[in-house]
A and B are shown apart, each in its own frame.
Chain A
Amino acid sequence: MEKVFTRPNSLKDMPMHYCPGCTHGIVHRLVAEVIDEMDMFDRAIAVASVGCSVFAYEYFYCDAYQASHGRAPAVATGIKRVLPDRLVFTYQGDGDLASIGTGEVVHAAARGEKFTAIYINNAIYGMTGGQMAPTSLMGQVTITTPYGRDRENNGFPVRMSEMLALLDGSAYVTRVSVHSPASVGKAKKAIRKAFEVQMAGLGFSIVEVLSSCPTNWGLPPLKALKWLEENMIPYYPLGELKIAAEVV
């Protein structure tokens, strides 16, 4: 019988530690599939960050780094400047990229660093137990906003991709989601395009992926996907935010 669905080579054959229904695993798979399809396994370098995806370096079978909280874009800068012909990508959560590491990603984009950030926006801090993230929605109940996120105390959610799209050094900025089979397909296309932009040397690229955290949202997996669709997408609209003129 012909095998029509199999594990991508760029993904190691091992159980993942993510909670049931967590979409981190889907995004890992998409990245690995794209690396395989572009035949880039030998040149790929993954930079894991600090968050639930801290062990991403175990799952991606290519060479890898584990960076300090928020600083993956600086680590990727150092790697890519030494090895300019490699495919370098960071894999960062929203606490990592949009809070503690805001400075690093903004300046990597401003310099037009030729790596790709895979940015998982799940509107919460997963690993540390469900605290408010800079991306948590207005009114969202988290363990540190038990009465809901309010503007007086916590201000407003950060739309990172919109900010990064403004910088001349960003060549490709897009927001996708993984709440439905159709959106997963689009997410994969976006990752491929970002990697192609990187390898063409056009500048910084980032794919923001709206993702679910059933555990800390306190919802069963399917309801979590529905919550994502109904609450996150209206605030974080999907689509390409920046395509540099050189990108075809």
Chain B
Amino acid sequence: MAKMLMKGNEAIGEGAIRAGCRYFFGYPITPQSELPHYLAKKMPEVGGLYLQAESETASINMVFGAAGAGARVMTSSSGPGISLMQEGISYLAGAELPCVIVNIIRGGPGLGNIAPAQSDYFQAVKGGGHGDYRLIVLAPASVQEIIDLMGDAFDLADKYRNPVMLMGDGVLGQMMEPVELAGEKEITIPKKPWASTGRMGRKDKRLISSLQIVPENCEKHNIKLFEKYAVAGQNEQRWEEYCLEDAELVLVAFGTAARICKAVVDTCRAEGRAVGLLRPVTLWPFPVKAFEKTIATAKRYLSVEMSMGQMVEDVRLAVNGRRPVSFYGRVGGMLPVARDIYNEVQKLLARGKA
């Protein structure tokens, strides 16, 4: 087991290569740049392809072609580029093509800035593109978790024949942490008996398409997709529990915001306050099962985000009116500070007493 220091963005690249991904199509944008830089160097070493596309629109459609041909393929970008990809992502979901899309979120809206944010949550979990579809959305909170989740991302994409999005932010992307790299293991990429590769003697014709011109068929297709999403929704919820056993105040946060919240929980616990953290690892499916586990002790939930309050809507849906849900956030590239979250927690705890 080799231990080494790695930047988050590089870990995404290393994790992808270790997962057997050999095709990357992307367009430069900060703050995910270290990832393409890493893959531009590494892909040729493993017989893979790094291709700089002319735009994110082109990137995502190159992903469409490569995924249809049966390859493990990925792209990566940040807010503005991910916005440009939305039509393509909708086509990928419609045509049921597996791929991994990385969004290292920056401050928005518009050109915003290149500082870390989580304000693309709605875009990732509620659609973003047109039509009814879902992405599986993963939110790592450490460099180690990035490496581990990249393998899962490709496996989930293949399992459900669906695009998977890995969401991070500039802090996660740029920070260096020690990671343990498991020895190179055999990668088993599942057979893709639907890939359109040229007939090569095959009897049946294969078509990669999202077009369903007959309304009856289009409805059936939607229903079939949602049956698939229902299975994923049940089976793929992931989260981390931190000091939740007896928590009366449950902080809910993902990614970088969750790391800061952990420090707040530690401070509160040292003072003997029953505060814990529920960290969603899958943002879709949202880990509603975790809420059921906490609801018995919880008196109140606080969603802490690097946005104006997006995930808090899913927290409210999961809690479903049984407890009050509050929100605290910083936005536009500003990080929530532990001290401020702590003060918010104090306020809420005092309110609980009154």
Q: Chain A: residues with CB nearer than 8 A to chain B?
A: 41-45, 47, 54, 57, 61-68, 71, 74-83, 86-87, 103-104, 106-107
Residues 203-214 of chain B, each 1 if its beta carbon lies under 8 Å from chain A, else 0: 001111111000
Chain B nearest CB, measured from A173 CB (Å): 19
Once the chains bind, are B64 and A78 in contact (CB under 8 Å)? yes
Q: Which of A62, A66, A71, A74 has the most chain B CB within a 10 Å cutoff?
A: A74
Residues 42-67 of chain B, each 1 if its beta carbon lies under 8 Å from chain A, else 0: 00000001010111011101111111
Contact partner, B207, options A66, A78, A80, A103, Cβ 8 Å: A66
Contact partner, A78, options B57, B61, B91, B209, Cβ 8 Å: B61
A62 to B205, CA, bound (A): 6
Once the chains bind, are B65 and A75 in contact (CB under 8 Å)? yes
The A-B contact count (CB < 8 A) is 127
Chain A nearest CB, measured from B56 CB (Å): 11
Residues of A within 8 A of B88 (CB): 68, 71
Once the chains bind, are A77 and B65 in contact (CB under 8 Å)? yes
A103 to B84, CA, bound (A): 14
Once the chains bind, are B205 and A107 in contact (CB under 8 Å)? no
Selected interface stretch from B10-18, B68-76, B133-141, B164-172: B68-76
Residues 231-259 of chain B, each 1 if its beta carbon lies under 8 Å from chain A, else 0: 00000000000000000000000000000
Chain B interface bracket (under 10, 10 to 19, 20 to 34, 35 or more):
35 or more
Once the chains bind, are B198 and A44 in contact (CB under 8 Å)? yes
Once the chains bind, are A74 and B61 in contact (CB under 8 Å)? yes
Specify the chain A residue showing the minimal Cβ separation from B201.
Answer: A42
A78 to B196, CA, bound (A): 12
Chain A nearest CB, measured from B54 CB (Å): 4
Once the chains bind, are A43 and B198 in contact (CB under 8 Å)? yes
Q: A43-B198, A63-B199, A66-B207 are in contact. Are A83 and B58 (CB under 8 A)?
A: no
Specify the chain A residue showing the minimal Cβ separation from B66.
Answer: A78
Residues of B within 8 A of A44 (CB): 198-199
Once the chains bind, are A57 and B69 in contact (CB under 8 Å)? no
Once the chains bind, are A75 and B61 in contact (CB under 8 Å)? yes
Contact partner, A79, options B54, B66, B87, Cβ 8 Å: B66
Once the chains bind, are A63 and B206 in contact (CB under 8 Å)? yes
Q: A62-B199, A86-B197 are in contact. Are A71 and B209 (CB under 8 A)?
A: no
Residues of B within 8 A of A57 (CB): 207, 209
Once the chains bind, are A82 and B57 in contact (CB under 8 Å)? no
Residues of A within 8 A of B286 (CB): none
Residues of B within 8 A of A54 (CB): 211
Contact partner, A83, options B49, B54, B197, Cβ 8 Å: B197
Within 8 Å of chain A (Cβ to Cβ): is B200?
yes
Within 8 Å of chain A (Cβ to Cβ): is B121?
no
A78 to B259, CA, bound (A): 38
Specify the chain B residue showing the minimal Cβ separation from A71.
Answer: B61
Residues of A within 8 A of B154 (CB): none
Contact partner, B62, options A64, A78, A86, A103, Cβ 8 Å: A78
Chain A nearest CB, measured from B40 CB (Å): 15
Beyond A45-B196, A68-B61, A78-B66: 16 further Cβ-contacts under 8 Å?
A: A42-B201, A44-B199, A54-B211, A63-B196, A63-B198, A63-B207, A64-B208, A68-B64, A75-B61, A77-B65, A78-B61, A78-B73, A79-B65, A79-B196, A83-B69, A83-B198
Residues of A within 8 A of B91 (CB): 68
Chain A nearest CB, measured from B264 CB (Å): 45
Once the chains bind, are A64 and B67 in contact (CB under 8 Å)? no
Chain A nearest CB, measured from B70 CB (Å): 7
Once the chains bind, are B65 and A66 in contact (CB under 8 Å)? no
Within 8 Å of chain A (Cβ to Cβ): is B25?
yes
Chain B nearest CB, measured from A112 CB (Å): 13
Specify the chain A residue showing the minimal Cβ separation from B207.
Answer: A64
